[in-house]
């Protein structure tokens, strides 16, 4: 439990400082950090419930995608400011490194098994974003029907 | 182009688009911004074709299309946000087209990066924090911070001198690998693998990778694949820098 809390604090710090490196505007750093922390918590809970890395990454990035869009609408900033820093804890750094190391040292069999893990994680991250995009579009469609402000703002949105 | 207003509109829109692509925006946002600028300036039926290396734009009914090449590429999300804010102000009629163009020129020449010491400090903290999150190796936290800081410093300096991102990533990761192995050999750290995993995190091509996925999903296949290649080249540069060092020892 203590380990999880330290991890979450460090995730927040890591997300915010990665945002600094990408020159994310100062007013969106904090919110990006929170999105990263919440989605990483979801990821850890999935791992703890033995759902496997694919589902955990998919759910984590789905939450990043949905929350980033809400944050972008709330702050009126591009969504890229929130989802790029928040994605950092999901990068399969460990597996990618093991793959490189095993290739370099000639253990091709092990290297390929790590390569497959990297591919699984990358695929589930991509599909998490795809699902989030779908949810966001459905939200826009619903809100346009029920709110006059939304339909005014989206009157010439070609995606609808 | 027969009238000045249309000419200025195309110039402003292309300038805004070029700034956004140069600083790492996804393509769908760029074409959306450009067509919004055009329709807010009174040209609702303009045509725009955006790729990662150039923009083409024409106003329907007029004869000439204009081209804007995009040659340099860096990552500065604040500039994208500021172009976005300017475009919103223009849509709300807070600024005129002339002011818009002037402010874009100002933005083009001034970058609001964080000072170098904050960047270095952040790179160190990213490395240490993610090393602990990924590997739960608490004793190596400090040495990872220091090596990550040095790695980002090397990346920054070589990027300034050579202006080739792949080369600076390659040399920075080679330096990280060397330093990590030396640190373990002189008993400053316990596990070279964990230190390296933490230290390369600031170099990870997060923006091209995310944009590649978003571009392909939104149907900008040409740009998505180009961006994916960019991310892959960065990953290969980092990986071969590390692999070279691991093989040498």
Nearest Cα residue in chain A from B132: A7
Torsion angle of the four alpha carbons A113, A117, A122, A123, in this order, in degrees rounded to the nearest 10: 90
Q: Give chain B's domain count.
A: 2
* Cα diameter, chain A: 63
Q: Evaluate whether B53 touches B70 at the Cβ level (below 8 Å).
A: yes
Q: What predicted TM-score, i.e. pTM, was given to this entire model? A: 0.89
pLDDT beneath 70, residues of chain A: 153-160
Residues B64 and B153 reside in one and the same domain? no
Nearest CB among A23, A101, A133 relative to B114 is that of A23
**Cα B36 to Cα B197: distance, rounded to the nearest angstrom:** 43
pLDDT, averaged per 10 consecutive residues of chain B (249 residues), comes to 74 92 90 89 87 88 83 88 91 89 88 87 94 90 94 93 90 95 92 92 86 86 91 91 89
Residue where one domain finishes, among candidates B109, B133, B161: B109
Q: Evaluate whether B56 touches B66 at the Cβ level (below 8 Å).
A: yes
pLDDT in tens, A36-52: 999 999 999 999 999 98
Residues of A in contact with B214 (CB under 8 A): 129
Does some domain include residue A148?
Answer: yes
User: How high is the pLDDT of residue B60?
Assistant: 75
CB atoms within 10 A of CB A63: 20
CA-closest candidate to residue A64, choices A42, A35, A34, A30: A35
* Chain B contact probe: residue of A3, A5, A100, A152 with most B CBs at under 10 A: A100
Structure tokens at A159: 């995606």
Residues B81 and B158 reside in one and the same domain? no
Residue A45: φ, ψ to 5°: -65, -40
Query: Which value does ipTM take for this structure?
Result: 0.88
* Domain range for B121: 116-248
Q: Give chain A's domain count.
A: 1
User: How high is the pLDDT of residue B2?
Assistant: 52
**Cα B232 to Cα A158: distance, rounded to the nearest angstrom:** 32
Residues B141 and B99 reside in one and the same domain? no
**Cα B232 to Cα B122: distance, rounded to the nearest angstrom:** 25
**Cα A69 to Cα A133: distance, rounded to the nearest angstrom:** 9
């Amino acid at each position: 439990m203590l380990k999880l809390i330290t991890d979450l604090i460090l995730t927040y710090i890591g997300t915010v400082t990665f945002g600094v490196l990408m020159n994310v505007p100062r007013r969106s750093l904090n919110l990006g950090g929170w999105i990263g922390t919440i989605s990483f918590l979801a990821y850890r809970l999935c791992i703890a419930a033995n759902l496997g890395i694919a589902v955990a990454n998919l759910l984590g990035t789905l939450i990043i995608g949905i929350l980033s869009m809400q944050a972008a609408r709330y702050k009126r900033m591009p969504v890229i400011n929130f989802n790029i820093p928040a994605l950092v804890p999901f990068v399969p750094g460990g597996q990618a490194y093991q793959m490189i190391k095993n290739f370099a040292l000639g253990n091709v069999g092990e290297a390929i098994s790590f390569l497959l893990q990297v591919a699984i994680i990358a695929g589930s991250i991509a599909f998490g974003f795809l699902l989030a995009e779908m949810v966001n579009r459905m939200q826009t469609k619903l809100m346009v029907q029920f709110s006059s402000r939304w339909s005014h703002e989206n009157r010439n949105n070609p995606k609808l | 182009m027969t009238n000045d207003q249309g000419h200025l509109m195309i110039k402003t829109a292309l300038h805004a688009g070029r700034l956004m692509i140069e600083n790492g925006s996804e393509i769908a946002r760029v074409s959306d911004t450009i067509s919004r600028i055009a329709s807010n300036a009174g040209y609702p039926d303009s045509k725009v074709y955006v790729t990662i290396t150039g923009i083409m734009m024409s106003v329907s009914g007029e004869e000439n299309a204009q081209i804007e090449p995009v040659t340099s590429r860096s990552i500065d999300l604040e500039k994208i946000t500021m172009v976005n804010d300017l475009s919103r102000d223009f849509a709300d009629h807070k600024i005129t087209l002339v002011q818009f163009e002037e402010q874009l020129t100002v933005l083009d020449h001034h970058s609001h990066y964080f000072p170098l010491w904050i960047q270095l400090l952040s790179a160190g903290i990213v490395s240490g924090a993610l090393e602990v999150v990924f590997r739960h190796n608490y004793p190596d936290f400090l040495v990872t911070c220091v090596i990550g800081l040095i790695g980002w410093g090397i990346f920054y300096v070589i990027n300034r001198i050579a202006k080739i991102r792949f080369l600076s990533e390659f040399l920075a990761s080679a330096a990280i690998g060397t330093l990590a192995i030396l640190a373990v050999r002189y008993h400053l750290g316990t596990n070279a693998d964990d230190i390296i995993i933490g230290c390369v995190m600031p170099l990870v091509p997060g923006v091209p990778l995310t944009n590649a996925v978003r571009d392909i999903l939104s149907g900008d296949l040409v740009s998505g694949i180009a961006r994916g290649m960019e991310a892959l080249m960065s990953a290969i540069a980092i990986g071969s820098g590390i692999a070279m060092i691991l093989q040498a020892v």
